[in-house]
């Protein structure tokens, strides 16, 4: 691992598109441990929009960031098909980085990138920001505390209605790292491993292409230890983003669009379930208040970058690293192979 650095951390942003404009640039304005120094994007319109949110110098070529000795760390938010190449360049220049998911678009790229990161000892974080959402954090604590007993199965859905022409061009084709599994499924594959503290062993999937390539998928997931999950991902409906865990004592539902986890427990003296009220942390109470004012409020992007600062400064952090990035990508690739063959496919662990 790279040695901790000092604050403010001089940051270079590669990619000023949608996720950078709507999430990262706004978050960085509230994170004093970072100093955004340079930002790069080949699209003049993207640079112009970014200029409304930052005073950092904006350039067209990321090489100006990669070769700059004054940049301490990188935030890579370029299109997915460029992730592996940019990550390898960051490793070559020994710059720690936060990389939007996915880690790569293929097994060859993913394994090569992972091995390069491990060999160089570079600090990395992947953009699985849902790990930092206060609702997800509380839900994980409740699962670990045995609130619903041993988990037996899970049902999840992550859907965003953005089909056809509403999608960016690169998201419409798998050859440019598009498709619903890399875009949405990768989030839930990571979350499921994180919630259950277990790796994915195998998957069985069905993928359909209605308005664009791989715009809907249903995946049956089996974990080490025997827990199973049924997941649905789609660009054709939504917005939905929830996971429901079924345990021996009841159920726990985590919904990104709901201000707190929903717990239902088996009644002790009568048949059926009753709603339980878990103790809410200050971060959950704050989120509930902000949710009333701004229903679309999502603090996880800011918290994920703050977690990256912790990692750079040597503070323990629960964010996803390159190994977690590979685990999610491996599940995506196995699901794609399963859909092609009609067979259950084992997931290749690193």
Separation between Cα atoms, residue 119 and residue 2, nearest integer Å: 11
pLDDT tens-digit series, residues 144-159: 999 999 999 999 999 9
Specify the 3-state DSSP secondary structure of 104.
coil
Q: Which of 3-17, 231-245, 301-315 has the lowest mean pLDDT?
A: 3-17
**Strand pairing report for 34-40 and 151-159:** unpaired
pLDDT at 105 over 70: yes
Predicted pLDDT of residue 5: 85
| Residue 258 bridge partners (DSSP) | none
Inter-residue contact 175 to 278 (CB < 8 Å):
no
Indicate the DSSP class of residue 180: H
Number of Cβ within 10 Å of residue 318's Cβ equals: 12
With a pLDDT cut of 70, the percent of the chain lying above it is 98
Alpha helices in 38-150 (DSSP H): 44-50, 63-66, 83-92, 107-120, 134-144
Q: Does domain 132-298+321-346 have CATH number 2.60.40.10?
A: no
Q: Percentage helix, strand, coil, to 5, in the chain?
A: 40, 25, 35
Predicted pLDDT of residue 296: 75
Separation between Cα atoms, residue 216 and residue 220, nearest integer Å: 14
pTM over 0.75: yes
pLDDT at 114 over 60: yes
- Phi, psi (5° rounding) for residue 225? 105, -15
pLDDT at 2 over 60: no
Q: Does domain 9-129 have CATH number 3.30.450.20?
A: no
Predicted pLDDT of residue 176: 93
**Count, residues in the chain:** 350
pLDDT tens-digit series, residues 20-78: 999 999 999 999 999 999 999 999 999 999 999 999 999 999 999 999 999 999 999 99
Predicted pLDDT of residue 259: 85
Q: Domain coordinates of the chain in residue numbers? A: 9-129, 132-298+321-346
Inter-residue contact 222 to 228 (CB < 8 Å):
yes
In angstroms and rounded to an integer, the radius of gyration of the C-alpha atoms of the chain is: 20
pLDDT at 3 over 70: no
pLDDT bracket for residue 272 (50, 70, 90): confident
């Amino acid at each position: 691992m790279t040695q901790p650095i000092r604050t403010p951390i001089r940051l270079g942003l590669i990619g000023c598109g949608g996720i950078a404009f709507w999430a990262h640039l706004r978050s960085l304005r509230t994170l004093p441990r970072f100093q955004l120094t340079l930002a790069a994007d080949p699209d003049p319109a993207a640079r112009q929009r970014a200029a409304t949110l930052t005073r950092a110098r904006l350039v067209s070529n990321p090489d100006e960031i990669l070769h700059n000795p004054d940049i301490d760390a990188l935030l890579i938010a370029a299109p997915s098909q460029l992730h592996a190449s940019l990550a390898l360049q960051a490793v070559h220049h020994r710059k720690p980085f936060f990389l939007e998911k996915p880690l790569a678009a293929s097994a060859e790229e993913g394994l090569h990138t992972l091995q390069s990161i491990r060999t160089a000892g570079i600090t990395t974080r992947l953009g699985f920001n849902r790990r930092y959402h206060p609702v997800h954090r509380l839900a994980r604590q409740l699962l670990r505390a045995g609130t619903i007993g041993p988990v037996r199965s899970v049902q999840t859905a992550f859907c965003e209605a953005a089909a056809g022409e509403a999608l960016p061009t690169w998201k419409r084709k798998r050859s440019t790292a598009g498709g619903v599994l890399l875009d949405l499924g990768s989030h839930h594959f990571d979350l499921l491993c994180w919630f259950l503290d277990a790796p994915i062993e195998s998957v069985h999937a069905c993928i359909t292409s209605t308005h664009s390539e791989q715009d809907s998928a249903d995946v049956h997931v089996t974990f080490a230890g025997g827990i199973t999950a049924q997941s649905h991902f789609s660009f054709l409906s939504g917005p939905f983003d929830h996971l429901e865990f079924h345990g021996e004592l009841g159920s726990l539902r985590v919904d990104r669009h709901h201000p707190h986890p929903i717990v239902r427990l088996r009644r002790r003296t009568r048949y059926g379930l009753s709603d339980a009220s878990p103790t809410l942390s200050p971060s959950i109470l704050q989120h509930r208040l902000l949710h009333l004012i701004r229903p679309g409020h999502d603090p996880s992007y800011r918290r994920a970058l703050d977690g990256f600062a912790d990692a750079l400064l040597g503070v323990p952090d629960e964010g996803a690293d390159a190994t977690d990035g590979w685990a999610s990508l491996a599940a995506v690739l196995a699901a794609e192979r399963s859909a092609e063959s009609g067979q259950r496919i084992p997931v290749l662990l690193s």
